Structure 1
Amino acid sequence: MEHRENDYKVNDLRSALDLLRSLPGQLIETDTEVEPMAELSGVYRHVGAGGTVMRPTKEGPAMIFNHVKGHPGARVAIGLLASRKRVAALLGGKPEDLGKMLYRSVDHPIPPVVTKEPAPCQQVVHRADEEDFDLYKLVPAPTNTPDDAGPYITMGMCYATHPDTGLSDVTIHRLCIQGKDELSIFFTPGARHIGAMAERAEQLGQKLPISISIGVDPAIEIGSCFEPPTTPLGYDELAVAGALREKPVELCKCLTVNERAIANAEYVIEGEVIPGVRVQEDQNSHTGYAMPEFPGYTGPASSNCWLIKVKAVTHRENPIMQTCIGPSEEHVSMAGIPTEASIYGMVEKAMPGRLKNVYCASAGGGKYMAVLQFQKKEASDEGRQRQAALLAFSAFSELKHVFLVDDDVDCFDMNDVLWAMNTRFQGDADIITIPGVRCHPLDPSNDPSCSVSIRDHGIACKTIFDCTVPFDQKDRFKRARFMDVDPEKWTKNTK
């Protein structure tokens, strides 16, 4: 893999923030005190959340809150990945190449290693058997809204090991503080590897050791969001981050449980998933809600969360908590870019050179919607674009809508995509529907109450919108050609 200029600069959260400070308009800080319960996210909604967040919102800089009420000495960073341009800078690539970069990294993994050096994440240690141990005070976890079930850890890298195979994996899960030494963790049925590990440990009557690393290298946060079949059970997604950085992620041994954690994290929570115990997510708030999810709606509180009994919290000196808003552009980056990589990889292997690029657009939260830029090189390619859409659904099962466009359409510009739809698409001929397919439970329209064709909650009608020009009519659909010039001569001295 080729060397990328910024690799040497970024290897943890602090070096990532240093890089953003050097880029105009990409990071702001405030010394004004902020309440972590709803106020912090309320502020960032206006500054830079974007995504499917309720309007008004916008894409803007990342932000650091230096004074968080109730947490002296702690800072909170938000929105680090809430911009594709920012993600590209942090990973040392181009915005339009991120999916391909991730695809290559999956195919060339570099596994993590355990460091023998003192771990920065263990500079300060708090053990659960200490009298003053209290997660509410130790971890400055915000709520997104006043309706949330409680303080959420939204950017926790959960790391665990399968009790049978000994293989490990990292995944991001919904984690709510439930007590002084208790967290709830939500496992989407059948969707995450650590959920399968917890289920197997429960069958064996065992606790599952787990570490939760917060505030890490953005390469880890992006890489951890791959799903099967691209990264099957047994694939440690920390190896994706290793490939992106061209060096292994360093782990350290936990102090109180038999697991490892990310050595240069800002915070690490050590604990065990308890078998045979389920938690009502909003047992403390009784709001009926969990937190805002990526589709833009506040999800219902689950009565089937698992329980993590916390054994210790370790952190760096003067730690930086990292968080995100559930429906923000940050989720689009974390979920969407790995999805682009999965789709590109599957289609490229099936029909090399035809799929030019993929974009999992903000409007779909990075999961529900993909735009495929497809090149028909010869007459026999007609129809292959629809095969590519079917492969996309196979690559990522939660995908609901696929838009197909030609290679002269910018798949990252939704105005250009809609232009293609308006001038190259006919509803009676170019819509392909696949009803009755399992999709995603957080889409409120995927419910029998919305359509008699839906047999169970979470089932959807997957749809392909073919906005490509028939190969034999390409000459009729040539875009207006403009002179190709460098505008700098006329714009560099403008006022």
Structure 2
Amino acid sequence: MREFIKKMRDAGLVDDIYEEVSSVYQAPKIASKTNKLVFFHKLDGDKKSVMNVTSIRKSLSIALGYPEEDIVKNLSKAEYNGNVVNRGKLYMIQPDLLSLPIMKHYPKDAGRYLTSAIVFSEYGNISNASIHRMLVLDKNHLAARLVEGRHTHNLLKSALSNNEKLPVAITIGTHPLVTFASCTRVPEGKEMPFAAELMGGEISVFECPNGVKVPDAEIVLEGYITGEKATEGPFVDITGTYDPVRQGPVIEITGMHIKDDPIYHGILPGGNEHKLLMGMPYEPKIYRYVSGVTTVRNVSLTTGGCGYLHGVVQIRKNTQGDAKNAIMAAFAAHTSLKHVVVVDEDIDIYNMEDVEYAIATRVRGDEDIMVIKGVRGSSLDPCRIGDGMNVKVGVDATMVMGKEDEFIRAEWDD
């Protein structure tokens, strides 16, 4: 991660904060005012921390080493086949979560939360890596939010069914491409090969005493997810509203590995980094699905749509019905998507004024708006019914084929 921070600084995308800052509310509030990477040099007195590591597409472009406009198309071709090399053992010291500058972000939060931490788990020859929010209970216990049916939850169920705890290792301050890979829905066990592919073909991992392997990180926590439950929440999620209080599994931390003068990474809940990491990994999947029905040019999950609930798909129509097929393909690719707008190649999908222009000039409400009732959406949407039932809307904001001349916009030659 330190190499990446240097690249961001060279690009003029780092704000260094040298005055003392508190991890309770103050650091998150400062980070909320900018999209630059914020480097706190004196958090809680003498600790280092970064926020907004990947809060804009440019940061991911810097990590990947190619232009922003190529990201979605290139990622859609991923093969998840990078080389993962085991470099040996990782030693541990006695854990003390209270020694880390773990942040409390908002006044109604249940407490201090790990937000950037990647949970690596292995059980029955199956491995997984994914981000979970984790509430600090004391110096060696956390309460985690594990979504039912997702890989970590399934591995925990398997372990508990055999009267065993699930071994895990938690990394904080990991290279952003490892974080991105861990946020992406990939074939089972392919998070680290995907990270290796993104990083040029190879990545090194180190084995913790409990057998779980992790990549390079500023901080590593070793432990076990148990069958014990604890109250988890309130916590601000992707929409900027508070997610419901639940009972979450307790993680017992048994060891800790830290670098000299470690740099803690915090993600602001509901901030742009949270939105990018939640939504952007779905863009290549939408791109692939839409490419099966028409010629797709680009995909964006918008910041105003929480980076997760609203999408814009840019296509080149081959037949008049292609836009509506693209709408259905987008919903199939990302089941939490709530509203999607399909536009032509001349519309800038990153410019919401341009997207609104397409809606204003190319949409007839009786013909171009699809309303789909009684479907599964996101459990994070405050207007959901129950734990996720909702209504989806697709908007065909494309020109009528054969009448393109009527939509030509006036412009000057260079």
Instruction: Give the TM-score of the pair, scaled to structure 2.
Output: 0.96
Superposition pairs of residues 31-180 of structure 1, within 5 angstroms: 31-46=18-33, 48=34, 60-69=35-44, 72=46, 74-105=47-78, 107-116=79-88, 125-128=92-95, 134-137=96-99, 139-163=100-124, 166-180=125-139
Give 2:273's match in structure 1, choosing from 312, 330, 334: 330
Give 2:293's match in structure 1, choosing from 351, 361, 364: 351
Pairing 1:14–2:2 present: yes
Partner residue of 2:250?
307
How far apart, CA to CA, are the structure 2 residues paired with 1:412 and 1:215? 29
Mind listing any 5+ residue stretches in structure 2 that lack a counterpart? none
Pairing 1:202–2:202 present: no
Q: Deviations over 1:150-199 (max 9, x none)?
A: 11111111111233xx1212100111111121011101222x31111112
Q: Deviations over 1:279-334 (max 9, x none)?
A: 1115xxxxxx22x21112122322x2111000011111100000111111112221
Give 1:420's match in structure 2, choosing from 358, 378, 385: 358
Partner residue of 1:278?
229
Partner residue of 1:398?
336
How far apart, CA to CA, are the structure 2 residues paired with 1:366 and 1:248? 30
- What is the one-letter code of the residue matched to 1:136? L
**Residue-pair matches, total:** 414
How far apart, CA to CA, are the structure 1 residues paired with 2:83 and 2:323? 35
How far apart, CA to CA, are the structure 2 residues paired with 1:416 and 1:332? 22
3-state SS of the aligned residue for 1:36? coil
Pairing 1:213–2:171 present: yes
Contact 2:123 2:167 (C-alpha < 8 Å) held by counterparts: no
- What is the one-letter code of the residue matched to 1:221? T
Superposition pairs of residues 184-203 of structure 1, within 5 angstroms: 184-190=143-149, 192-203=150-161
Contact 2:23 2:103 (C-alpha < 8 Å) held by counterparts: yes
Instruction: Give the TM-score of the pair, scaled to structure 1.
Output: 0.81
Give 2:284's match in structure 1, choosing from 335, 341, 365: 341
- What is the one-letter code of the residue matched to 2:84? P
Superposition pairs of residues 463-482 of structure 1, within 5 angstroms: 463-482=393-412
State the shift of 1:142 in Å.
0.6
- What is the one-letter code of the residue matched to 2:181? G
How far apart, CA to CA, are the structure 1 residues paired with 2:217 and 2:393? 41
Q: Deviations over 1:226-285 (max 9, x none)?
A: 12xxx24x2321222211112222111103x221122x200001010102x211115xxx
Contact 2:80 2:190 (C-alpha < 8 Å) held by counterparts: no
State the shift of 1:337 in Å.
2.0
3-state SS of the aligned residue for 2:381? coil
Between 95-104 and 417-426, report the one with greater CA deviation. 95-104
Contact 1:184 1:279 (C-alpha < 8 Å) held by counterparts: yes
3-state SS of the aligned residue for 1:197? helix
- What is the one-letter code of the residue matched to 2:396? D
State the shift of 1:108 in Å.
4.5
Partner residue of 1:360?
301
How far apart, CA to CA, are the structure 2 residues paired with 1:87 and 1:204? 41
How far apart, CA to CA, are the structure 2 residues paired with 1:261 and 1:206? 21
Partner residue of 1:259?
212
Q: Deviations over 1:9-29 (max 9, x none)?
A: xxxx100011111112x0011
- What is the one-letter code of the residue matched to 2:31? Y
How far apart, CA to CA, are the structure 2 residues paired with 1:346 and 1:113? 32
Q: 1:179 to 1:111 in 2, by over 3 A?
A: same
Contact 1:339 1:366 (C-alpha < 8 Å) held by counterparts: no
**Structure 1 stretches of at least 4 aligned residues deviating more than 3 Å after TM superposition:** none
How far apart, CA to CA, are the structure 2 residues paired with 1:178 and 1:28? 32
How far apart, CA to CA, are the structure 1 residues paired with 2:214 and 2:80? 22
How far apart, CA to CA, are the structure 2 residues paired with 1:360 and 1:86? 16
Partner residue of 1:23?
11
How far apart, CA to CA, are the structure 2 residues paired with 1:136 and 1:199? 29
State the shift of 1:374 in Å.
1.1
- What is the one-letter code of the residue matched to 2:230? V
Contact 2:293 2:325 (C-alpha < 8 Å) held by counterparts: no
- What is the one-letter code of the residue matched to 1:406? D
Contact 1:111 1:236 (C-alpha < 8 Å) held by counterparts: no
How far apart, CA to CA, are the structure 1 residues paired with 2:83 and 2:168? 19
3-state SS of the aligned residue for 1:115? strand
Partner residue of 1:10?
none
Contact 1:267 1:314 (C-alpha < 8 Å) held by counterparts: yes
